[in-house]
A and B are shown apart, each in its own frame.
Chain A
Amino acid sequence: MKMGEVELSCLAYAKMYLHASQFPRSSVNGLLLSSSPAGAAVCITDCVPLLHSHLSLAPITQLALTQVDVWCSQTQQRIVGYYQANACVSDSSPTPCALKIAEKIFEQCNNAVLLMIDGEKMFPGCRVPPIVMYERKDARWALKDKHTIMLRQWEETCSIVNQLFSSGDQTLLVDFDSHLDDITKDWTNQKLNAKIMELISPANGNV
């Protein structure tokens, strides 16, 4: 991969999409992770869904960021970005809260990305990934060139997401907020990850 390129894995995309779909009436956010070593390109291999309420209040955000950070260091992952889907579907521009958190991540990771989910493109049959990515350039967050964003096997990714919905597995997704409501729920989503990896594997005819 070349300098400045960002690759978004099927696993990360699927979970972000599921998160936004699970809470269609609220803004949701989460962190983008990478298990690849730091380099010129960014490989987003996973994501952690965080909140679906009061995104701009500090305590739970701070708590979640720290917990994810520690978990990442234990699982050889790094936080490389932040995603958000706004409640107001017609406006997918980053909110001040999104910019603040992305800024914090950028302090630790100099090719961090900010990803906004475009709600208007989240309908079945849409041929374009419903995402808008920003990168840090000249002390501000600027739109990233679409050609540097890689979503390998886009068709398969879409089909995997559809399969998750038809099997009802989309309800397995747990975000940090839900974990606080019921601590027996696993915010690292091990079960859902396993299901998605199963669907991705070559044995299933995908990828």
Chain B
Amino acid sequence: MRKINIESTLYSQLIIDDENKLVIKFQPKTNVFLYCISEMRDKLRKWREENYRNSEQIVDVGEELINEHASKLGDDIWIIYEQVMIAALDCSRDDLAWSCLQELKRQFPDSHRVKRLAGMRLEALERYEDANKLYDSILQDDPTNTAARKRKISILRAQGKSSEAIRELNEYLEQFVGDQEAWHELSELYINEHDYAKAAFCLEELMMTNPHNHLYCEQYAEVKYTQGGLENLELARKYFAQALKLNNRNMRALFGLYMSASHIAASPKVSAKVKKDNVKYAAWATSQISRAYQLQHLPAGVMLTSLALSISSKTPYTTAASAGVAVVIEIHGRRQT
């Protein structure tokens, strides 16, 4: 029979047979479930490869796969146990995490990778000393084990010991300069500590090795904007623009471009030409923003009305980093009820 899936339910498919008649074919139950199993496997693989942290979904899908269809997963089952275990810890499902861990321990009794998972479970139970002991024993065996080192730093972070976490992470990065994840973690730690200069340095490292990543550009621009001062605002504007070049739908970058250009234009320190250029940039950003909202048919739209670049007046919430300069952003329009 020629099978053309016009519509399929869990147990039946509508098929056009060789005589061009529409027929309902009932699939034997096992076939349907095999089809579903491979879908679930693919989903888990996608989430694994793209590092999603949708732990509730992973637990939902993974728990069913493990409990009902373990025999059909082949060697994939071990990596699925690992993925589900970590997601289970994230959702406080110690029961599920424990059973996954037992299976992995049985299969890989001396593995450092499994030991690390046991350590993560201890962390989830806030038994940080025990977790540290476990990681230290891994590092004694294998001093180059980056996973264990990073877990120790995560423990410091969980305990709120930010300065120690920063110190350890810096030491780690001296040895493992190419670890992107670590650079990003360090930038987050610095941002939380309001050490914007060092956060910017970390983001510069990330931008160098990932020149096409619009998110790093945009975060760098935000840090520069926060640091304040004319030079930093100009850098911020440039990097917001770069982020937009890489992804023209990054709304943060668009708003950021508008705000940095407006502040520069309003600064008394800039030349007439610079002022004119930045007014142009801000106006362009305005038009792009209102276009983006109108394209979505957002009711009443959110329109940036006339830019009032007021040097002398201050509105409550828009004082620029460069002292005493204010920009009024008027946003009209009401949201749909």
Contacts and interface: CB of A to CB of B under 8 A. Distances in A.
B296 A57 contact: no
Given A70-B331, A91-B160, A104 B226 contact: no
B337 interface: yes
Contacts of B225: 57-59
B226 A59 contact: yes
A60 B255 contact: yes
Interface string A58-93: 111011011101110011000000000000101100
Contact of B317 (A65, A96, A181, A190): A65
B317 A104 contact: yes
A124 B219 CA distance: 36
A58 B292 CA distance: 23
A169 to B, nearest CB: 16
B17 to A, nearest CB: 42
A59 B317 contact: no
Interface in B19-33: none
A63 B228 CA distance: 16
Contacts of A96: 194
A152 to B, nearest CB: 26
B298 to A, nearest CB: 7
Nearest to B299: A186
Contact of A183 (B53, B256, B292, B336): B292
Contacts of A108: 316
Given A62-B317, A184-B296, A184-B298, A190 B337 contact: yes
A66 B329 contact: yes
Nearest to A96: B194
B293 interface: yes
Given A88-B160, A183-B293, A190-B337, A56 B191 contact: yes
Interface string B29-53: 0000000000000000000000001
A189 to B, nearest CB: 9
A180 interface: yes
Nearest to A75: B334
Contacts of B298: 183-184
A58 B227 CA distance: 9
A56 B192 contact: yes
Nearest to B295: A183
Nearest to B320: A62
B241 interface: no
Contact of B226 (A56, A63, A180, A190): A56
A59 B256 contact: yes
B331 A66 contact: yes
A190 B336 contact: yes
Interface residues of B, number: 38
Nearest to A69: B317
A56 B336 CA distance: 30
Contact of B191 (A54, A65, A74): A54
A107 interface: yes
A104 B316 contact: yes
Interface in B208-265: 219, 221-223, 225-226, 228, 236, 251-252, 255-256, 259-260
Nearest to B90: A25
Interface string A176-206: 0000110110101010001000000000000
Given A66-B329, A69-B317, A88-B160, A58 B336 contact: no
Given A57-B223, A60-B252, A90 B160 contact: yes
A177 to B, nearest CB: 9
B252 to A, nearest CB: 5
B195 to A, nearest CB: 10
A59 B225 CA distance: 7
A76 B334 CA distance: 13
A58 B331 contact: no
A57 B222 CA distance: 6
Contact of A63 (B236, B255, B332): B255
Contacts of B219: 54
Interface string B322-337: 0000000111101111
B324 to A, nearest CB: 15
A67 B222 contact: no
Nearest to B91: A24
B329 A188 contact: no
Given A58-B228, A62-B259, 16 more contacts: A54-B222, A57-B191, A57-B222, A57-B225, A58-B225, A60-B256, A62-B317, A63-B329, A66-B315, A70-B329, A70-B332, A180-B252, A183-B298, A186-B336, A190-B336, A194-B337
17 contacts: A56-B191, A57-B191, A57-B226, A58-B228, A59-B226, A59-B256, A63-B259, A65-B318, A70-B330, A74-B332, A104-B316, A183-B251, A183-B298, A184-B296, A188-B335, A190-B335, A190-B337
10 cross-chain pairs, A with B, having the tightest CB-CB distances, nearest first = A65-B317, A58-B226, A57-B222, A188-B335, A180-B251, A88-B160, A59-B225, A59-B256, A57-B226, A70-B331
